[in-house]
Amino acid sequence: MASNLVQYPGAGCIVEFMQGNEPQIAWVMEEQKGKLRLFLPNRRETTLSSARLLPWSGPTYPAAQSKDAMIDMLEKHGERRKRLAAEVAPVELWEMAQGELPKARAEWFAELGYTSPDIDTIAACGRALLACKTHFRFQPPEFEIYDADTVEARRQAEEAARMREAMVLGGADWFRRLWEARIGRHAAPNPDAAPAEPVRGRLEHMLRARMADPETVEDDALWKQVTKGLPDDPHLPLLLAMTWGLVPEHHNYWLDRADYEAGTAWEQTHAEATDALIAAVADEAQLPPAEDTPFISIDSATTRDIDDAFHIVRAEDGGWDVDVALACPAWFWDFESPLGKAVFDRATSLYLPEGNCHMMPEALGEGAFSLFEGQKRPSLVVSAHIAPDGTLGEGRFRTAAVTLAKNLTYPDCEAVIEGRAGEGNPAAAWAEQLAFAAEMSRVRLDYRVEQGAVIIERPDLDFELEGEGADVKVRIRETEAAPAAMLLVAELMIVANAVLADWAVKNDVALLFRTQDVAVPREYAGVWRSAPDIARVVRILVAAALDVNPRPHAGMGLSAYSPVTSPLRRFPDLVNEAQLLHFLRHGEPRWSREQLSAMLLPLGMRLEAAGQVQRFRPRYWKYLYIQQRAAQHPNECIWRAEVAEESDMWVNVNLPEVQIALRAKRQLFGEKVFPGQEFMVRLGKVNALRNEAMILDVQEF
């Protein structure tokens, strides 16, 4: 009964106190001036201030007891209190008490659930309330009753604390096992051996979050705890995730950082909109007027997103009249639709060694909008006259439904241009147009160089990945050279983009311009191919940028340049095409300069993120190619290198075979080193993830 509570415990009284965050039961052997000598169930004695006792002392027995008798009584009351505490529902007590009063003693709560509770029942209730820290706060001799908001906040904090503890205990061990497997100390653990949920999901989230953003501060303290003792490697999350099997070997973490989804799964959400666009293209009533100009396209043999074609004839003044037909998704495009916003977010197509990632759904970019021979497509046609000296005349624009006469490839066109076309070459039928275009492109190139154009040419590389996962093998070779055919296509595209920019400036129509507004010394103009020349000119060039204001493009040698020739692959081109199309239809632009300016920042961020993928991912495969060769032949990993730059301390070289720049200490190269000099270098300590390789030895070529 509650009357069994003892206010001033003395010898023979059973009391409880807190130690190690748990209630401890004890027998009072002696009391003197507020100090108690206690006997514990483990037969030990201790001294304690009476102020430290929990407020449910009792019952009291005759003081003269043997130690065995005291232990028996302590165990009897302790076991009963433990059993009764397990039956107490503290949350239910909180629900009954919450709002009634701010705090109460343990006996008050005991009386809510029991009639005339005895001392063991009161102690058991007190024990249960002490353990329920989310709902009660013990302020001796009473328990404060938290309100609902405080309870929820403390419940969440307690859950977070439990999760942290489970993460540290289970996560640290799991990550250690994964790392030891990664460095070859033992086989990769079975994924089923990973910690159970929710720890498993939290660990996976941490790895993915850090792959996507190495600078994230989310769970930073917890991350440091679970990776304690592991190397401070910037790629640790990726290495652990690959070993765990969360991502495949050679996972493209740059896509994670760009928040750019590979594959075609993203398209499924927009299947209905895609089907509607395919149907619209197939409905000739929805297309612009048809015309029968025999356009031809030139691309690589594997290209399926064909967004440009051309027709060229000799002009009366000895120059050339050019029509460039561009794929015209803007004819139907809804920029505000979910599909339109998803394509904006992708911003550009990516062309990677392991596969392409398309800006548009493949059924559109490689299907309904692509300029395939024999299939009618909505097109924007850009017409221009090029004078015999390369001067570009004023552009004209029209929309048309065109049917390409032929899709040609670079090698076939190159053979025709060089006069070595064999029997059956499909490009032979277009020899006259190809000759006109090749001649025009050489004249235009010379003209642009005269205007200060700085052109860097490097061989294109072809990657071949054989095998899957950790067994993938990399092969790299130069693509089949087709300089004349590639030049004519490049110059035709520059013509179309340049006349659009000039038209926009003259008519004060806002567009997205590609600018490179930097002063270039006259002697830097030209076409540069050697490593020293490229190193010299890139030092003065700044990266081209998007701008709503027409500024010069130094690299192109143009006063203004507005991209429109790749609307299937690049979002700025699609925007410019839509802007021009709206003007042709309605006599006014779709967007004001202010509206395009507001679009510029988010679009620029998406393009930069995707651009990093395009720059760094092929570089990874190049270094892996070197790494695999070094692993197979450690002493024969020899590469031809051309000196690009040299200083008192360092020599920068370019490896032509893989188009990689490396730096080494000058002393490796001997006393006489000059730009353009060739050496054979032996590489080692190659790390593909870090894009690192060390030049170990140098010999003159």
pLDDT in tens, 61-86: 999 899 999 999 999 999 999 999 99
Q: What is the pLDDT of residue 1?
A: 39
Task: Please compute the mean of the pLDDT values over residues 449-464 and round it to a whole number.
Answer: 93
C-beta neighbour count of 161 within 10 angstroms:
10
Q: What is the pLDDT of residue 480?
A: 87
CA 515 to chain centre: 27
Q: Does position 326 have pLDDT exceeding 70, yes or no?
A: yes
Q: Does position 407 have pLDDT exceeding 70, yes or no?
A: yes
Q: What is the pLDDT of residue 332?
A: 97
pLDDT in tens, 593-613: 999 999 999 999 999 999 999
Share of the chain above pLDDT 70, in %: 100
Q: What is the pLDDT of residue 422?
A: 83
| Strand partners for 407 | 297
Q: Does position 187 have pLDDT exceeding 90, yes or no?
A: no
The structure tokens listed for 376 are: 């009618």
Q: What is the pLDDT of residue 157?
A: 87
Supply the pTM of this predicted model.
0.82
Q: What is the pLDDT of residue 634?
A: 74
CA 114 to chain centre: 60
40-49, 164-173, 418-427: least confidently modelled range: 164-173
Q: What is the pLDDT of residue 637?
A: 81
Q: Does position 566 have pLDDT exceeding 70, yes or no?
A: yes
Packing angle between helix 593-632 and helix 338-346, nearest 10 degrees? 50
pLDDT in tens, 530-542: 999 999 999 888 8
Considering only CA atoms, which of 460, 200, 433, 276 is closest in space to residue 351? 460
Q: pLDDT band at 117, cuts 50/70/90?
A: very high
Q: What is the pLDDT of residue 161?
A: 80
Mean confidence (pLDDT) of the chain? 94
Q: Does position 418 have pLDDT exceeding 70, yes or no?
A: yes
Q: What is the pLDDT of residue 2?
A: 45
Show the DSSP H helices in 451-482 as ranges: none
Considering only CA atoms, which of 187, 278, 468 is closest in space to residue 355? 468
Structural domains in the chain, CATH included, are: 2-146 (no CATH), 150-247 (no CATH), 265-617 (no CATH), 633-700 (2.40.50.140)
Burial-class residue 596 by CB neighbours within 10 Å (0-12, 13-18, 19+).
Answer: buried
Q: What is the pLDDT of residue 200?
A: 92
pLDDT in tens, 629-643: 888 887 778 999 999
Q: Does position 351 have pLDDT exceeding 50, yes or no?
A: yes
Rg (CA), the chain: 39
Instruction: For residues 37 and 49, give the distance between their C-alpha atoms in angstroms, rounded to a whole number.
Output: 9
- DSSP per position, 416-435: HHTT---TT-GGGGGHHHHH
All residues at 6 or more sequence positions from 85 whose CB lies less than 8 Å from its CB, including other chains: 124, 125, 127, 128, 131
2-6, 237-241, 254-258, 286-290: least confidently modelled range: 2-6
Considering only CA atoms, which of 664, 688, 504, 686 is closest in space to residue 580? 504
Instruction: For residues 646 and 536, give the distance between their C-alpha atoms in angstroms, rounded to a whole number.
Output: 12
Q: What is the pLDDT of residue 372?
A: 98
Task: Please compute the mean of the pLDDT values over residues 252-275 and round it to a whole number.
Answer: 96
CB 215 within 8 A of CB 187: no
Residue 294: is the preceding peptide bond cis (ω within 30°)? no
Q: pLDDT band at 287, cuts 50/70/90?
A: very high
Q: pLDDT band at 51, cuts 50/70/90?
A: very high
Instruction: For residues 436 and 150, give the distance between their C-alpha atoms in angstroms, rounded to a whole number.
Output: 81
pLDDT in tens, 646-696: 998 999 999 999 999 999 999 999 888 999 999 999 999 999 999 999 999
